[in-house]
Amino acid sequence: MSIEMNSQLGSIDVSKEVVATIAGGAAIDCYGIVGMASQKQIKDGITEMLGRENFSRGVVIREVNDEIHIDMYIIVSYGTKISEVAYNVQSKVKYQLQQMLGLSVESVNVYVQGVRVTQP
């Protein structure tokens, strides 16, 4: 499945996998984020931190009525203010997708799957 963008020069199809990878890369650069978590492991009660090659597994792209909605599953660092981290992730993901793809995102929903104590 892909997202179609139309311009005066023609149409561009961007894979949802590409959008998810860009969103995951933007999120992991935010302060307070330890990693991405898989949304499919919520049922088991186990959160597994994903590596850089699996950013898109922690991101779900939904297209509803020609509007883009992104769900992000993250693990935050202990001692950070979760609301600020989530706001920074939302802002950065929207900005990066606008700058890189010209894609306007209706919402970025952040789900904190865990808190990890980092090693000094």
Residue-level pLDDT at 85: 94
Query: Who has greater pLDDT, 57 or 24?
Result: 24
Cβ-based neighbours of 98, under 8 Å, separated by 6 or more? 104, 105
Domains of the chain: residue spans and CATH: 2-116 (3.30.70.1350)
Query: Who has greater pLDDT, 2 or 110?
Result: 110
State the helix-helix crossing angle for 82-101 and 16-28, rounded to 10 degrees.
130
Structure confidence by residue, pLDDT tens digits, 3-38: 887 878 888 888 888 899 999 989 988 999 988 887
The distance from CA 103 to its chain's CA centroid, rounded to whole angstroms, is: 14
What's the CA gap between 33 and 37, in Å, rounded? Answer: 11
Percent of the residues in the chain that have a pLDDT greater than 70, as a whole number: 82
Beta strand pairing call for 33-37 and 67-77: antiparallel
User: With the C-alpha atoms ordered 27, 19, 44, 90, is the resulting torsion angle positive or negative?
Assistant: positive
Report the largest interatomic distance among the alpha carbons of the chain, rounded to a whole angstrom: 52
Residue-level pLDDT at 12: 85
Tell me the CA distances in angstroms from 12 to 32, 78, 111, 112, one per residue in order: 34, 41, 30, 33
